[in-house]
Amino acid sequence: MQPICAKWKEKIIVQLKGINHQNITMAKGKKGFAFTFGRECGLIVDRKGEIKYEVCGKLTMNSVAYSNGLFGFVNSDGNVYLLNEETGELRKVEVGYHHSMSIGMNSDGFLACYYRCAFFTFDGKRKWDLAEDIVIPSGRPSFTKGFWFVANAVPGKILMIDGENGELIESIPYEEIKEVATCGNKVAAFAPKRIGVYEIDENQRLGEKTIVEVKGSGSFDFIKGGTIVSNGCSIVAIAMLNGLRVFRLPSKEDRLLVENEILAIDSLENEISVLTLGRNRTPKYVMESVILLTPVAKFNLAGEKNAD
């Protein structure tokens, strides 16, 4: 399938030797973007890709999320670092090592997970703990319609959690799950070769799912994660080793937007942005560039004619 003709602005964010692709995350804010690269510091850049802030902890910065003007970084040192996108004000909230791998945010606070999950308000108060023995999060938690959704990599489950009190509503088996994403009443679960799209039903449970199988058998067809775009919650974007693919619900036909390894993806207000990988070979080693792609022209993700 031919790529859609889409216009992208390209900006090299950072060049690193021996980058750990598994620890790259991004969050899209109103005015810029935040990233983690498997180092002790995370970066925040403006819409032009220029670095505005650097947020550092003592160990590895594992994940970043965004809500209500705040970027939240979680570090293996057991702290969450909250940075105000507008003012640059930085606050630190102690969450402990067992909540230091993954973070999701909503208007009330943030959910932090690693072996355990707990919800904290922005002033640092712990509101509730999830009564689940072991949670090994894959990707970041996602919130919609009053519920948190967590991809539990071991043994492979979707956890549906009441956002008010932390009660575990459902635990749905989903083999090889990599990430969950939400939009409205839709929940997408991403695995290496397939995406399952659920809807929250009238009983406040996950109803039947639509399975989308990704064609191809090569190693570069591997799905790393994805997002649902809030354009009527009808567009699912897939981050893959061989490119950025999208499909419109309920159709199962996917389209290719970018032909390159996708490191991370996020969306806000109907706009998708991605991190992709560039390599500059030298006689001694390979220098890898992390490149931010942002759309500079409106384009229809369903594949109709694009408009400047």
Does residue 4 register a pLDDT over 60?
A: no
* Residue 1 within a domain: no
How far is it, in rounded angstroms, from Cα 139 to Cα 79?
18
* Residue 192: CATH number of its domain: 2.130.10.10
- Spell out the residues 6+ positions from residue 188 whose beta carbon is closer than 8 angstroms to its own: 180, 181, 182, 195, 196, 197, 198, 226, 228, 236
Question: Is residue 241 classed as helix, strand or coil in its secondary structure?
Answer: coil
Average pLDDT, the chain: 83
How far is it, in rounded angstroms, from Cα 95 to Cα 116?
11
What local confidence, expressed as pLDDT, does residue 99 receive?
95
Q: Report which secondary-structure segment, H or E, holds 274.
A: strand 271-281
Tens of pLDDT, residue by residue over 80-106, are 999 999 999 999 999 999 999 999 999
Note the pTM of the prediction, 2 decimals: 0.88
Does residue 298 register a pLDDT over 80?
A: no
Tens of pLDDT, residue by residue over 161-203, are 999 999 999 999 999 898 999 999 999 999 888 888 999 988 8
What local confidence, expressed as pLDDT, does residue 230 receive?
65
The amino acid occupying position 67 is S
* Residue 143 within a domain: yes
**Could you list the residue range(s) of the whole structural domain that residue 141 is in?**
8-295
* Residue 302 within a domain: no
* Integer-rounded Cα radius of gyration of the chain: 18
Give the residue among 275, 263, 261, 179 at the shortest CA–CA distance from 228.
179
How far is it, in rounded angstroms, from Cα 191 to Cα 119?
26
* Residue 101 within a domain: yes
CA 67 remoteness from chain centre: 13
* Residue 118 within a domain: yes
What local confidence, expressed as pLDDT, does residue 303 receive?
45
Tens of pLDDT, residue by residue over 15-65, are 766 566 667 889 999 998 999 988 899 999 988 888 899 999 999 999 999
* Residue 306 within a domain: no
What local confidence, expressed as pLDDT, does residue 231 receive?
66
What local confidence, expressed as pLDDT, does residue 83 receive?
97
Count the domains in the chain.
1
Distances (CA, A) of 304 to 4, 237, 297: 9, 16, 14
Q: CB–CB of 214/266 below 8 Å?
A: no
pLDDT grade, residue 272 (50/70/90)?
Answer: confident
How far is it, in rounded angstroms, from Cα 138 to Cα 180?
8
Give the residue among 40, 7, 10, 13 at the shortest CA–CA distance from 26.
13
pLDDT grade, residue 280 (50/70/90)?
Answer: low
Q: How much of the chain, in percent, has pLDDT values that exceed 90?
A: 44
- Spell out the residues 6+ positions from residue 51 whose beta carbon is closer than 8 angstroms to its own: 13, 43, 44, 45
